[in-house]
Amino acid sequence: MISLQNVSKIYSLGEDIVNAVVDINLEIKEKEFIGILGSSGSGKSTLMHIIGLLELPTSGKIILDGKDISKLTDAELSKIRNKTVGFVFQSFNLINRFTVLENVLLPTKYSKERTPQDFTEKAMELLKRFGILERRNFYPNKISGGQQQRVAIARALIMNPKIILADEPTGNLDSKTGDEILDILKNLNKEFGVTVILVTHEHDIAAKTKRQIYIKDGKVVEKYL
């Protein structure tokens, strides 16, 4: 479903040139549950941003559903982010001045298709499934980290994406809550066939995925050392 071909990303920080991602070839199939494992600074987050179309590679091709997306406009890329990809971040990234329900509905504001009513129903369903329905009118800073991350997952799911990109989703949570979040992601993959790409630096978390890829110095390596 997603195929990265010779993808590189080079940043220039003043006079220094940083090779964040170097010549990566990667194939991710539909309904996969895949872990991208790498230490901090390995380039795994950049890789995730490239897969999530938040950043374009300096060189190389990204094929999404058979379509080369490296030449799309901002509006087209935004549409794919809106419809096809859902993000879950380490720091939740909810908007604090909106309620839980409003946060879940945020992606629908940028959708050009359905009417808002059926989205609200769907949002309520998701919140119920994650056990936070009664928190729907709370503001994010009034609920726990685990609850915030569930809200973020609900937000990622509201548009029925094919892919969930989770960047250290348990990084800010205690291990018990983290495990619950991982279970949610696992279930999404199992029950609904959502492709889940989990980025982490922890072996035991990556171990819960079905396939692991190791990143070091911006390259895919055989085995994480």
Identify which of 184, 200, 199 has the alpha carbon closest to the alpha carbon of residue 152: 184
Whole-number minimum distance, CB 207 to other proteins, in Å?
27
Q: Which is nearer to other proteins, 138 or 224 (CB)?
A: 138
Within 8 A by CB and 6+ apart from 4, the residues are 24, 25, 26, 27, 50, 51, 60, 61, 62
Q: Residue 55 gets which letter from DSSP? A: S
Whole-number minimum distance, CB 23 to other proteins, in Å?
21
Q: Contact between 204 and other proteins (CB under 8 A)?
A: no
Chain positions 94 to 133 lying near other proteins, rule: CB under 8 A, are 94-95, 97-98, 106-107, 109-113, 115-116
Q: Which is nearer to other proteins, 4 or 94 (CB)?
A: 94
**Residue 201: other Cβ atoms inside 10 A:** 18
Q: Which is nearer to other proteins, 78 or 175 (CB)?
A: 78
Q: Using CB under 8 A as the criterion, what x/- string covers residues 75-94 for binding other proteins?
A: x--xx-xxx---x-x---xx
Whole-number minimum distance, CB 95 to other proteins, in Å?
5
Q: Contact between 173 and other proteins (CB under 8 A)?
A: no
**Residue 207: other Cβ atoms inside 10 A:** 11
d(CA 103, CA 155): 7
Identify which of 86, 90, 119 has the alpha carbon closest to the alpha carbon of residue 102: 119
Q: Which is nearer to other proteins, 83 or 208 (CB)?
A: 83
Please report how many Cα atoms fall inside a 13 Å half-sphere around the Cα of residue 104, on the Cβ side: 31
Residues in contact with other proteins by the rule CB under 8 A: 49, 52, 54-55, 74-75, 78-79, 81-83, 87, 89, 93-95, 97-98, 106-107, 109-113, 115-116, 155, 159
